[in-house]
Structure formats: C-alpha cells, structure tokens
Amino acid sequence: MPVITTIDDLKRLHKRRTPKMFYDYCESGSWTEQTFRDNESDFDKIRLRQRIAVDMTNRTTASKLIGQDVTMPLALAPVGLTGMQRADGEIKAARAAEKFGVPFTLSTMSICSIEDVAEHTEKPFWFQLYVMRDEEYVDNIIERAKRAGCSALVLTLDLQILGQRHKDLKNGLTAPPKMTPPVIADLATKWRWGIEMLQTKRRSFGNIVGHAKGVDNMNSLSSWTAEQFDPRLDWNTVRKLKEKWGGKLILKGILDVDDAKMAAEVGADAIIVSNHGGRQLDGALSSIRMLPSIVQAVGDKVEIHLDSGIRSGQDMLKALAMGAKGVMIGRAYIHGLGAMGEAGVTKALEVIHRELDITMALCGRRDVNTFDRDMLLVPEDFEGRWA
Ligand code: GLV
C-alpha cells in the first residue's frame, strides 16, 4: 500500500491505473491550457502569515454551505464521465462524500444516473444541470432530480459550447471507449480497470440514454454537446429554471463582476466563481484572481464558492481567506477515484482536510468561519491591472 500524503500522489496512481483517454480528459484544459495552468500557479503566488503563541486547541473546520452542515466548506464538483475513471465512479464518490460530510454534485454528463446515485446513498446530493435544446428533457430531468431528493440545483452557465481540448480529439474520447489497437494496448496495462468495468452495467451516459428522445446510443461527449446543448441560454432562461426547480439554486461559471451582479439579482442562493477548470475559455483569468473583485461586488448579497485550481488544503484556506464561503474540488477527487476508488476519494478529502486544519493552526486560527484576508500575504499586483 503506497503512502499517500498529497493529491499529487493520488494523481500519479490515477495516471498509472486509468485508461489514457480518461486520465487525459481529467487532466487537460482547452487550447493552450494557459488558464488551466494559471488556476493552480496563481495560488502559489499567495503566501501565509505565520502567527505564534495562539491557543490551538479545539479547532473546527465545520461550517455551512447554502445552509447545509458540512465537515469542511468544500463540495465535490460535477465532473462528466466520472464513471469511466473507475466503474460506478459517481456512486463511489458520492458515498465517500456523504461519509465525510461534504456535498457531492452529480453531473448531467455522468455515467451513473440520478436514480443510481440516489439508490446507493442516504443523504441528499446536489445535481448539476446543463440546459439542452429539448425543453421536455430539461423539465423531465429537473423532476427526476426533485424525486431523488437532490438538495440543490447547480446550473452551469459557462458551457453551452464545448471548449476544444486537443487531447480528447486525439485520443478519440468516447464512453465506453472504442476498442481500437492503441486503446487495446493501453488497456492491457490497466487490467483492474477493465475487470471492474466488465462487472458493471453502467458504461454510457446514464442521465441521457433512455431519457432523451432518439438517443439510445450516445457515446461522444463532443457530438452530444454540439447537437443538444442550448446555445440560447440567457438570464431569462435562468429565471425560468429557478421557478421550475423551486429549491436551492447555485449558479456555476461566474468569472466576471457584471455576471456576478446579474446572478445575485436573479436570486441565486450561491454562485461558483469558476472557469470550468480552464476547460472552456482559454485566456480567461484564474478563479482565485477574479475572486476578490467578485467578493467586493456581491459578497454581501450572495454566498460565493470558488472552483478551479484547488489541489490542497492550503489552496482552500487561501480561497476562504480571500472571501469565499466554500470551495469545490474536481480533479483532486477524481485523482483519488482513479487511484483507489471510493477509498481514494476519502483519502483525497482527508489529505485536504488535514492540510487545512494544520495550516489554519499555524496561521493562528481555530475556526474556519473566522478566516479573513489578514491571514494572507498577497502581492500588491496579484489581481493585476487589466484595461
Ligand atoms: C464538462 O462536462 C467538461 O468536460 O468539462
């Protein structure tokens, strides 16, 4: 059993144990991947203030996200094709999250369906929605999420057209994979993945196949998004969906102050400052850089979460200290899942929790809910002057 001390350890195992096309799907950004890289490297520019002689006993990371109790203010982000990283991946990740006490978000583009995940978990999870052209399908999936008891709808607003990720095109990404000679050669070294996959029935897009009209053999994410995602999505649609859902609404993909103001005006319960992990508009600024101005503009009106770039508890602490109420992790838990299944997701959460807890103690804080900018050393030009 390897000793896992960082998310990077899980990432190395993920790469070794998972078919290349799915590892690459996770570990890529669009075009030049500049934004993908900046999301991580911008966190490194922020340093921490070491404080001493402060009582460190009775520390707590417990908090609330959209009014729900959490062990630490972090949620698992929606990630497409999670059930291809490991058989029944969404169920495994959801179970790890509920045991740990943080929310799991199921993607529309998941392999396990809403019903599959609900059947195998006890606590409510969040459901992420992509808006499709087929209104009946959208109404239906909202009803399915309600029936499954989902406790929030996470509406993604930054992916009506799929950003181009070169690796996916070169690898011929599909779910399940097509058995071409390079795929067969790759799978020969990933036999455990293959055996587990043969033992599950869940190998295509479970929320779509059998639910969307005329779709019974859909395996390509790029062709499905091009044909089905609704490029007309606007704030009016957001308002209508809010009505239809009627529960907690989280808007994901906000990276601009004006959009954050619109999201607050629409009455979202929370917004997620995100550039989709650098997978959509390459050249956009990192989420952590955009966070301060968004907090300043709407921090008193709507709960703000940050996604994109979190790979450690220290990153998490920095985002919270900069004004986020919570964070989302995507790749960090997918590395755990690909490395070790459910136990790997738990390990990812433990690693991040431990880093958060020890770091806050060494910064002289005992309660995650008291974090502020005073804990950080931020370069004066961190946000940059952009005209
Ligand atoms: C979304 O599903 C993505 O691939 O980023």
Q: Report the C-alpha gap between 170 and 179 in whole angstroms.
A: 15
Please, which residues bridge with residue 76 across strands?
Answer: 104, 329
Query: pLDDT confidence of 224, banded at 50, 70, 90?
Result: confident
The CA 308 to ligand 1 mean position distance, Å, reads 13
**Do 94 and 104 touch, CB atoms closer than 8 A?**
yes
Q: Report the C-alpha gap between 108 and 96 in whole angstroms.
A: 20
Q: Answer yes or no: is pLDDT of 216 > 70.
A: no
- Taking CA atoms only, the protein residue closest to ligand 1 atom 5 is 279
Position 217 scores a pLDDT of 57
Position 211 scores a pLDDT of 84
Using the structure block, give the residue that is written with the tokens 């101005």.
293
Most ligand 1 atoms within 8 A of CB, residue of 166, 229, 279 to mutate: 279
% helix / strand / coil in the chain, to the nearest 5? 45, 10, 40
Contacts of 190 (CB under 8 A, 6+ apart): 17, 18, 19
Sheet holding 126-129, edge to edge: 74-76, 326-329, 303-306, 270-273, 249-254, 152-156, 126-129, 105-106
Beta strand residue intervals within 146-302, DSSP E? 152-156, 249-254, 270-273
Position 42 scores a pLDDT of 98
Query: Own/partner pairs for 139-143, CB < 8 Å, 24+ apart?
Result: 139/244, 140/211, 141/108, 141/114, 141/207, 141/211, 142/241, 142/244, 142/245
Per-residue pLDDT tens digits for 339-358: 999 999 999 999 999 999 99
Q: Stretch 189-201: mean pLDDT, rounded?
A: 96
Beta strand residue intervals within 24-124, DSSP E? 47-48, 63-65, 68-70, 74-76, 105-106
Position 218 scores a pLDDT of 61
> For residue 130, which atom of ligand 1 is closest to its CA?
2
The CA 222 to ligand 1 mean position distance, Å, reads 9
Catalytic residue (choose from 276, 305, 335, 353): 276
Most ligand 1 atoms within 8 A of CB, residue of 30, 84, 162, 308 to mutate: 162
Position 84 scores a pLDDT of 97
DSSP state of 180: -
Per-residue pLDDT tens digits for 272-302: 999 999 999 999 999 999 999 999 999 999 9
Per-residue pLDDT tens digits for 47-73: 999 999 999 999 999 999 999 999 999
Query: pLDDT confidence of 1, banded at 50, 70, 90?
Result: confident
Residue ranges lining ligand 1, Cβ < 6 Å = 80, 109, 159, 276, 279
- Taking CA atoms only, the protein residue closest to ligand 1 atom 4 is 80
Position 219 scores a pLDDT of 65
Query: pLDDT confidence of 154, banded at 50, 70, 90?
Result: very high
Most ligand 1 atoms within 8 A of CB, residue of 79, 110, 334 to mutate: 79
Per-residue pLDDT tens digits for 326-341: 999 999 999 999 999 9
Q: Stretch 111-126: mean pLDDT, rounded?
A: 98
Q: Report the C-alpha gap between 185 and 314 in whole angstroms.
A: 39
